[in-house]
Amino acid sequence: MKKVVAFKILLVLALTVASTSCKKSSSSKNSSRATGWNINDRDGGFQYNTDFKEQETSPGLVFVEGGTFTKGRVQDDVMHDWNNSPNQQHVQSFYMDETEVTNAMYMEYLDWIKRVYPPSDENFRAIYHGALPDTLVWRNRLGFNEVMTDNYLRHPGYGEYPVVGVSWIQAVEFANWRSDRVNEYNLEKAGYIKRGAKITDVDSEQTFSTDTYINAPTLTYGGNEEIINGDGRSKRNSRTDADGNETGIYATRETGIISPKYRLPTETEWEYAALGLSEIRSYNLYRGRKKYPWDGQYTRSGKRKIRGDQMANFKQGKGDYGGIAGWSDDGADITNQVKSYDPNDFGLYDMAGNVAEWVADVYRPIIDDEFNDFNYYRGNVYTKNALNEDGTVKIVTSDDIVYDTLSNGKVIARNLPGEILQVPVDENETYLRSNFDKSNEINFRDGDRRSSRNYESFNDDEGIDGQEASTTRQMYNSPKHSITRDSLGNIVREYDKGNNRTSLINDEVRVYKGGSWKDREYWLDPAQRRYFPQDMATDYIGFRCAMSRVGSKSKGKQKKKN
């Protein structure tokens, strides 16, 4: 009996100690180490998510832990391109789409645009048409491919195949749209937005934009308070301070609910993710080199059960896009359904074969690793929010949509209603800075005369009597075609027929990576890099999205190994 009583006493003491330690831990977590003040106090003051663990993996993505690797071609450069010399780079952890963006995923995007900005309305027709993939990329003067022209994008038989006919510009717009839809859903789940509003209440005058919600939440959905503060708002999100003012009505970055944006991966991120070097890691060293996203020097599997099977779909030889029927066949003559082949060590599918993929970078033949070897990327154009005279952010309306006419004559919308108008950064942001000095940094240290240490600009853009300067002074002397409109609004195309052009490289060509169904084995090496105009599309280039990682480098707690 005495033993039972003693046990009960010990149990009560243990529970008391545990409760006290939990309270102390909880109070210390919500107490500022800077001031000692309470955080998340019901009377107001500083509000912050002290329970945040780590970034939640957004739809479609897998985690890629960052690290160091040798970027560039580590095999023999038999083509002598000299545009991918090996250099050591470090990549921060990030997320990447498990597969390429599929036709079904892109069709969801088109469906949303069609519902919100109906092409039957003359004001919005160019928005929908500007987002449509170019299905004519399948045509060939001496080939019969009309079945793909008519069916590849929309037929459910191709639903899980990678989308093609999408330009770099269209891929970026898809990523922006995807960011807004995912954050809109996250806020709905958390109770900040009216449930179901994303489908039932959205139209061209009231849409959701992540940037608008962060900077001016009351202007989201065209200022419709029923959606922003309606029946979907959870009462646990809001508090009343000592003065009776309601706080916490809108989610902020401090809540951790709003995720970073989807975007195109940088070239360095894509190459690092494609290699999947962790499978040949030995402690803190890599064992040898990798030629493909899988281990080994061959495109066929050496595993006993599937020995001889191709690890990707690609052009195996002249007139051979898939091998002999039923034998040595890669399972596809054009693209293939995503996840048809084994993933690499990061869990990413089709990082070789299927379709090549757009990445974010502007193409230059040389990677300037001497200046930067951390998160390397060429293509930065810095902008800021446009402001009204009263200091509020300027929201784009249906009357403010700006359209661009591309080099091929296609018209696209540069911005959409509900978004914040963006303008280039100016001296207010660049004055006395050492890390950037202007809005457009695409041409920084790219080898032209202006990049020279001793270069001085005297009438750089003008020649004698105000004429255009000699084209030989430019590093990248590419053709300059022009698209104009006559008085009736008809497109007038003027081709540059000059014979003094020396390059196809300019600030509008983007890198694409990886081999495709149309490429030979040589291009399956993740280090290979090619370029294509950002406003044009093909039947062999698709894309996948990426997202930056915030917080720790690794997921969860990892113990150090040797």
Tens of pLDDT, residues 516-535? 999 988 889 899 999 999 99
pLDDT band with cut points at 50, 70 and 90 for residue 384: very high
Beta strands in 30-160 (DSSP E): 61-64, 67-71, 87-91, 94-97
pLDDT band with cut points at 50, 70 and 90 for residue 286: low
Statement: residue 452 has pLDDT above 60: no
Instruction: Name the residue ranges covered by the structural domains of the chain.
Output: 52-190+257-378+507-556, 380-441+443-455
pLDDT band with cut points at 50, 70 and 90 for residue 237: low
The residues near 148 (Cβ < 8 Å, ≥ 6 apart) are 135, 138, 334, 539
**Cα–Cα distance between 133 and 107 in angstroms, integer?**
10
Burial readout 339-367 (b: 16 or more C-beta within 10 A, e: otherwise): ebbebbbbebbbbbbbbbbbbbbbbbbeb
Q: What angle do CA 75, 79, 84 make, to 5 degrees?
A: 55
Q: Distances in Å between the alpha carbon of 305 and those of 43, 302, 309, 479?
A: 66, 9, 9, 53
Q: What is the pTM of this model?
A: 0.88
Mean pLDDT of the chain, nearest integer: 84
For the four alpha carbons of 321, 323, 326 and 331, in that order, the dihedral sign comes to negative
Structure tokens at 60: 């479609």
For the four alpha carbons of 308, 314, 320 and 323, in that order, the dihedral sign comes to positive
**E strand or H helix at 108, and its extent?**
helix 103-116
Between 451 and 250, the higher pLDDT residue: 250
What is the arithmetic mean of pLDDT over 189-210? 92
Terminal-to-terminal C-alpha distance of the chain = 53
Domain 52-190+257-378+507-556: CATH superfamily, name plus number = paralog of FGE (formylglycine-generating enzyme) (3.90.1580.10)
Tens of pLDDT, residues 543-561? 999 999 999 988 866 555 5
**Cα–Cα distance between 246 and 238 in angstroms, integer?**
6
| Phi, psi for 199 (deg, rounded to 5) | -110, -45
Structure tokens at 241: 């301070």
pLDDT band with cut points at 50, 70 and 90 for residue 310: confident
User: How large is the greatest C-alpha to C-alpha distance in the chain, in angstroms?
Assistant: 110
**Cα–Cα distance between 519 and 536 in angstroms, integer?**
19
